[in-house]
Copies of this chain bind each other. A is one copy, B any other.
Amino acid sequence: MLSSTWTFEQYKGAIIGYKIKDILFKEESDYQLVEILESEDYGKIMLLDGCMMVNEKDEFFYHETIAHMPMSLVQNAEKVLVLGGGDGGTVRELAKYSQIKEIILVEIDGKVIEASKKHLPQTACGFDDPRVKICVQDANEFLKTTSANSFDVIICDGSDPVGFAEILIQKNFYELIKKALKSNGVFITQSGSPLAQEEECKKTWKNLNLVFEHCNFAWSLVPCYPGAVWSFMLASKQDFGKYLNTELPKNCKFWNKEIFQALMSKPAFFTKLLSEN
């Protein structure tokens, strides 16, 4: 039991730190150091190799965006694939749609799921939905054995593309995604901060456009990530862009139709960044 200390995450020339009251979980998995800490002001936080993944106070911005944005663009999505997302927050948001019949979550690190179920019930409650099937497997390997045209929505809710996650922005990976996606399906991936991780954004955009006929980009905010402004990229085999939901998902803290339109509205700072490719 700690009386009080701090955890810091440096990203290039910036640092974010949180005051910590307690360490709830700290184990080295086959892939990374998994930590869940009790913070003073931001609820419980999960760090993977020292990088902030989730804090209970503001995780809703990220999870509502990555789940409801593609779900707002596909009519009657019934089958959804989540790659990564072992904390359960994305699945929690997807479970709000009664039309969905099956949610498959493919997380490489079982330790992340185990720690989240035990210590982050606010996000991991998504796993309680009977439509959710969990595969502890590498996303790329999963996709290689997936039948073509299987999913209405595919969500890549992974870590930054370094180390074992580097594959997540590669052209080969996007080709497997494209094969697994239905003809009117939508793929979304988090793609780093357009303020702090410019190269990651540009590389994701470039590779996505090499594979998909229709690509789109959106911004949102993730207060606890470096740069705070976040990017999401979308891809489809068909033209997309219209908001299709007739009803808003329940109990959202951030999401609404006006926010969807704004996040997709291509502000100039972001268009300029991607045009520099």
Interface residues of A (CB under 8 A from B): 6, 8, 12-19, 39-42, 57-58, 60-61, 195-196, 221, 223, 227-229, 251-256, 258-259, 261-265, 267-269, 272
Minimum Cβ distance to chain B for residue A78 (Å): 27
Bound Cα distance from A17 to B251, whole angstroms: 34
- Residues of B with C-beta under 8 A to A223: 195, 227-229
Give Cα A272–Cα B252 distance, bound, in whole angstroms. Answer: 12
**Pick from B8, B221, B251, B265: contact of A221, CB under 8 Å:** B221
Q: Which of A14, A60, A196, A258 has the most CB of B within 10 A?
A: A14
Q: Which residues from chain B contact A272 at a C-beta distance below 8 Å?
A: 253
- How distant is the Cα of A146 from the Cα of B258 in the complex, in angstroms? 38
Determine the distance from Cα of A41 to Cα of B12 in the docked complex, in whole angstroms: 7
Q: Is the CB of A41 within 8 A of B13?
A: yes
Looking at the assembled complex, report how far the CB atom of A208 sits from the nearest CB atom of chain B, in whole angstroms.
Answer: 23
Contact partner of A252 (CB less than 8 A), chosen from B41, B258, B264, B268, is B268
Known: A13-B39, A17-B15, A223-B229. A256 touches B267 (CB 8 A): yes
24 contacts between A and B (CB under 8 A): A13-B18, A14-B16, A14-B17, A14-B18, A14-B42, A15-B15, A15-B16, A60-B269, A61-B229, A195-B223, A221-B228, A221-B229, A223-B229, A251-B268, A253-B268, A253-B272, A254-B267, A254-B268, A256-B265, A256-B267, A258-B262, A259-B262, A261-B261, A262-B263
Contact of A15 among B6, B264, B267, B269 (CB under 8 A): B6
The closest CB in chain B to the CB of A252 belongs to: B268
Question: In the complex, what distance in Å separates the CA atom of A44 from the CA atom of B29?
Answer: 41
Distance (Å) between the CB of A158 and the closest chain B CB? 22
Q: Which residues of B contact A269 (CB under 8 A)?
A: 60, 253-254
Chain B, residue nearest A41 (CB)? B13
CA distance A259 to B265 in the complex (A): 7
Q: Which residue of chain B has its CB nearest to the CB of A253?
A: B269
CB distance from A235 to the nearest CB of B (A): 21
What residues of B have a CB within 8 angstroms of the CB of A18 in the complex? Answer: 13-15
